[in-house]
């Protein structure tokens, strides 16, 4: 039986919901979390705990830091801490609606829903800009090495750290760019996904080229497009055994390394920023011993 939440490694589902929950002051979260631990079988629901909840429970997960704020000319990368994160994965929207209701009921003694994002797979795994997302993700054993904690003992091994950001796209703005400008923004060609050798330094894949960091900065990205009645964008989700790689990449994206800002900021911006610790699994349930539950 897997030691980790298998949904982290599994293919992106055709539909999903990303829910966050606030901890209701004065309530004891232990019982609802025990119920959640049983419900989360790994694949259809991936769970992450925020730093405020881990601290409240007296857990000692030192790598779980606060999400970093970045502010530079015209760029804002916010940090929006929250207690609990649930990624409901499914193939059918009605099923997700019913599972959302059941999840909210199960947690209601100590948690209230803070945000809900409806996400979906677009085409063969594309961002709404039309570009394939996830091409350079590690696979197989490499993905396991990148995404999960190892060598820290029971309760921690098999856990993962996830960075989550809701990005809001301005697709009308993106559509005003020529296809060459769009390709240079990403650093790949939209029509065949080929990487552009002569892409500008601001191209997204130049900013984030995982092998160009020292040490190399690999992430397991599991982002999904999202939309509501008025907006749309990408729910950026990246798993790692710590936040070191994510932070190195984010710094380079906002221009802190060399003053060059990622071309993505020309048409999209993050409105949330969160770090969560995703507990390991033990005998088919979440193992919450590291947080005393
Ligand atoms: C709206 C936000 C974003 C969009 C639309 C986006 C889209 C893309 C696309 C289309 C690719 C090329 C294909 C691929 O390898 O997946 C890519 C690559 C990548 N992105 Fe993003 N991305 C976003 C945000 C981020 C953020 C916030 C990070 C990390 C801080 C990041 C890290 C990466 C990495 C590591 C790669 C692979 C680079 C390589 O090694 O070639 N992305 N992204």
How far does the chain reach from its first CA to its final CA, in angstroms?
21
pLDDT tens-digit readout, 55-110: 999 999 999 999 999 999 999 999 999 999 999 999 999 999 999 999 999 999 99
Compute the distance from residue 264 Cα to the ligand 1 centre, in Å: 9
Beta-bridged to residue 117, according to DSSP, are 18
Instruction: Give the whole-angstrom CA distance, residue 217 versus residue 81.
Output: 24
Residue 1 has pLDDT above 90, yes or no: no
Who contacts 267 (Cβ-Cβ below 8 Å, separation ≥6)? 129, 169, 170, 171, 173, 174, 177, 185
Q: Is 246 in the pocket of ligand 1 (CB under 6 A)?
A: yes
Q: What is the pLDDT of residue 139?
A: 98
Band of residue 191 on the pLDDT scale cut at 50, 70, 90: very high
Report CA-CA distances (Å) from 166 to 68, 203, 204, 211, 223. 15, 20, 17, 25, 10
Q: Is 217 in the pocket of ligand 1 (CB under 6 A)?
A: no
Question: Which residue do the tokens 């959302």 mark?
Answer: 100
pLDDT tens-digit readout, 82-94: 999 999 999 999 9
Q: Extract the tokens encoding 59.
A: 């857990």
Q: Is 40 in the pocket of ligand 1 (CB under 6 A)?
A: no
pTM tops 0.85, yes or no: yes
Residue 267 burial (10 A CB sphere; 0-12, 13-18, 19+): buried
Average pLDDT rounded to a whole number, residues 211-229: 97
Mutate which of 138, 166, 167, 236 for ligand 1 pocket (most atoms within 8 A of beta carbon): 236
Compute the distance from residue 238 Cα to the ligand 1 centre, in Å: 10
pLDDT tens-digit readout, 116-139: 999 999 999 999 999 999 999 999
Band of residue 272 on the pLDDT scale cut at 50, 70, 90: very high
Average pLDDT rounded to a whole number, residues 33-50: 97
60 touches 252 (CB < 8 A) = no
How much of the chain, in percent, has pLDDT values that exceed 90? 99
Average pLDDT rounded to a whole number, residues 218-226: 98
Q: Is 133 in the pocket of ligand 1 (CB under 6 A)?
A: yes
């Amino acid at each position: 039986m897997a030691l980790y939440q298998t949904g982290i490694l599994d293919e992106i589902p055709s539909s999903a919901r990303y829910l966050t929950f606030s901890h209701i002051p004065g309530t004891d979260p232990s019982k609802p979390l025990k119920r959640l631990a049983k419900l989360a079988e790994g694949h259809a629901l991936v769970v992450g705990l925020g730093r405020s909840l881990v601290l409240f429970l007296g857990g000692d997960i030192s790598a779980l830091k606060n999400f970093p704020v970045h502010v530079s000319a015209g760029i804002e990368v916010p940090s929006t801490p929250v207690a609990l994160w649930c990624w409901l994965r499914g193939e059918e929207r009605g099923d997700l609606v019913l599972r959302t209701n059941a999840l909210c009921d199960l947690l209601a003694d100590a948690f209230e829903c803070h945000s809900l994002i409806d996400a979906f797979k677009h085409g063969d795994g594309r961002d709404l800009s039309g570009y394939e997302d996830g091409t350079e993700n590690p696979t197989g054993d490499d993905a396991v090495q990148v995404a999960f904690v190892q060598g820290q003992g029971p309760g921690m091994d098999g856990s993962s750290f996830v960075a989550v950001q809701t990005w809001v796209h301005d697709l009308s703005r993106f559509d005003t760019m020529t296809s060459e400008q769009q390709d240079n923004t990403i650093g790949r060609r939209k029509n065949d996904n080929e990487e552009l050798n002569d892409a500008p330094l601001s191209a997204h894949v130049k900013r984030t080229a995982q092998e160009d960091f020292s040490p190399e900065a690999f992430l397991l990205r599991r982002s999904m497009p999202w939309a509501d009645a008025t907006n749309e964008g990408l729910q950026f989700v990246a798993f790692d055994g710590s936040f070191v790689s994510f932070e190195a990449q984010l710094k380079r994206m906002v221009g802190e390394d060399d003053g060059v800002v990622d071309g993505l900021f020309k048409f999209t911006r993050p409105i949330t920023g969160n770090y969560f610790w995703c507990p390991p699994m033990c005998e088919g349930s979440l193992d919450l011993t590291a947080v005393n539950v």
